[in-house]
Amino acid sequence: MTDHLTTVAGVAVDTRHWIGGRRVASADTFTDVSPIDGSTLGEISRGTETETAQAVAAAKAAFPAWAATSRAERARILHAIADGVEKRLEDLAVVETHDNGALLRSHRRGVMPRVAHNFRFFADRLLTLDHEDFETRGHTNRVGWDPAGPCVLITPWNAPLMLATWKVAPALAAGNTVVLKPAEWSPLTASLLADIAAAAGLPAGVLNVVQGYGAEIGDALTSHPDVRRISFTGSVPTARRIAESAAANLTPLSLELGGKSPLLVFADADLDLAVDLAVEQYDNAGQVCLAATRLLVEESIAEEFTRRFVEKASGLRQGDPRDEATDIGPTIHLRQLEKVDGFVRRAIAAGARAVVGGHRKDGRYYAPTLLTEVAQDSEIVQEEVFGPVLTLQTFTTEEEAVRLADDTRFGLAATLATGDRERAERVAGRLVAGTVWVNCFFVRDLRAPFGGSRHSGVGREGGTWSFDFYCDLKNTVTAPKGWKDHG
């Protein structure tokens, strides 16, 4: 590391904040560690209330001009940012793999292309954002989307850049300015995004990036009276603290808080497909909010399903995420690894049986795990583990399957495997979930609403729903008469 630059796999990354179009260093730093091998990636500027205040002030100062910028120009700049992402796709993929341990092949082929798509989609959606005028007793109603103001976006560590831009892109498209606070366990690609945005011509102060610990700067950001929107993806306890902080100013919130999603497998399902869907839940070492971690299998096929699952899961290759042959990488942090292991050890002590895995491996790796003989009210069934840990329970009737599926405090997603179309419609309609996948998983379209019910979140993102959140909706009602002729 030289001055404020660190080099990750040959890619230079600035470790300072990005505020008001310039790099800003803090007096103190925190160490960013790679989950691959525990090596130090860099000493990152550790934000304080001073830097957060500077960032919000910069966003506030930049807001009037950016809000007044035409839709066409804002869209042009967002497309230019997407161009920049695509030009640096390999750099972004390599850095993020080192920083959060997800598979390099996934970053190259799926995640980073999606980052560029996030900007392109919302740029294009902005240009078509409209609502048909309607009449009320001869008066014309016209709906508009006004930029709200500075937005604080707080993003998680499991898919750092993709989930950050899922918020940044619509916020900028809407004409808002942004203060982005990336997770301290994976901050590096947010810094690269600031460089890319500046190179694309985004005006100074429109995007600001402040690094640091949520416990130290989170309240300063979320309680700031000049902040007009807050979007957060993360845990329920943190969301509660953010909501309390934002309450004094009645700042609108968008919250995506994870889940404990079910995968329902009926006896009439394609069993090979169902097993594939179940094993797919180990993606990103189980560090996926949407993961269907509760396998609910009809009793008559449970034995055969389990046999096939064990066979397929045993063939997964766990190791260095930079290796193309690797299927599962490491857990992001030793603290998270301890958390995952604690869940499993307590479950086994309470009577659960590990038919696959159930233990730590060398380094930050946790073996893909399947636990059976678990009670519906047990911790392992009810609480989000956020690791490669699945449970398996059986049911005998459709009614029981739905009851078990809906019996948690979460409601983010659900997956359903069945060969019966009528059953699929019937069951999907009764599941408490923001997204239901039928005989598939993780098929996402930015035109669709995304979010959760119950403790899985507040609000929806995607398509027009994102603009509804990041804007102040206005209805202008115009009378048919009272006009003077200036002809």
Which residues participate in catalysis according to the annotation?
256, 289
> How far apart are the C-alpha atoms of 92 and 11, rounded to whole Å?
9
Where on the phi/psi map is residue 173: left (φ > 0), alpha (ψ -120 to 50), or beta? alpha
Residue 278, CA atoms < 13 Å, CB-side half-sphere: 32
CB 24, CB 52: distance < 8 Å: no
- Assigned token pair, 275: 């097993």
> How far apart are the C-alpha atoms of 145 and 71, rounded to whole Å?
11
> How far apart are the C-alpha atoms of 56 and 51, rounded to whole Å?
9
Q: Which amino acid belongs to residue 278?
A: A
Return the number of other C-beta atoms located less than 10 Å from residue 359's C-beta. 12
